[in-house]
Amino acid sequence: MDILFDLDGTLTDPRDGMISSIQCALGEVGGPRLQASELVKYIGPPLHKSFAQMLGCDDAVLIQRALDSYRRQYSAAGFAQARVYEGIPEALNSLTRAGHKLWVETSKPTVYALKVVRHFGLARYFAEVLGSELNGDRSSKTGLIAHALNTGGGSCGAAGSGSGGLREGCGAGIDVDKDQPTRALLVSLSSHCRIRSVSPRSI
């Protein structure tokens, strides 16, 4: 079976690195000084939309400048400030040993998603890392999941960090259990797990 995992908030906690990179970017373009508690809600959605909201404008040039600054900060140091959730490596190892094919699907640009999974030694567990393009293409998880379904050719379950990802999984034809807390699934996978939260009729 193919199992798709979101990256931020599912495999890793990216908050420290993303928040510090966002704060640097906002400072560089003269944006507002926002506290970490105010920025948490912007972790997950595509950043070009988030910067438009943070800057309170639709100035495409300013938004791109902020995004470019963020990417410089994040690529240099921010990505390495993430932390892998406890039990995730053991869970991924168990799933691959059981014969499941694992994928990462994320709205984060592929180049950065690969950097994260390689830095933390997770790349060996995944058949492919599917992310967006730097120009914003493929930022829809529905499209990413549909691509994985078409490529994998098998039954598929989704493990994500929020209700949006699960709704998009359903939209792409994936069997998910919306009544189980997905974060709990991932945290408890290492202790013989609530795998029923991912495609309960198939595992």
Which of 154, 155, 177 minimizes the C-alpha distance to 166?
177
- Give the span between the Cα atoms of 176 and 41, in whole angstroms: 24
Q: Name the residue range of residue 27's domain.
A: 15-81
Residue type, 20: S
Q: Per-residue pLDDT for 28 more than 70? A: yes
Specify whether the CB–CB gap between 21 and 43 falls below 8 A: no
* 76 in the same domain as 128: no
Domain-embedded: residue 143: yes
> Is residue 56 domain-shared with residue 116, that is, in the same domain?
no
pLDDT of residue 203: 38
- Joined tokens for residue 152: 């994998």
Residue 9 within a domain: yes
Residue, of 154 and 96, whose pLDDT is higher: 96
Q: What is the pLDDT of residue 159?
A: 57
Of the listed 6, 8, 16, 59, which one is catalytic? 6
The verdict on whether 8 is a catalytic residue reads no
Q: What is the mean pLDDT of residues 100-120?
A: 92
Q: Which residue has the higher pLDDT, 187 or 69?
A: 69
**Would you say residue 111 lies in a domain?**
yes
157 with 89, same domain?
Answer: yes
Q: Are the beta carbons of 186 and 21 closer than 8 angstroms?
A: no
Looking at the structure, tell me whether residues 22 and 50 fall in a common domain. yes
Same-domain pairing of 154 and 165: yes
Q: What is the pLDDT of residue 132?
A: 81
Q: Which amino acid is at 59?
A: D
Amino acid at 91: A
One domain for residues 87 and 67: no
> For 48-103, what is each residue's pLDDT tens digit?
899 999 999 999 999 999 999 999 999 999 999 999 999 999 999 999 999 988 98
Work out how many domains the chain is built from and give that number.
2
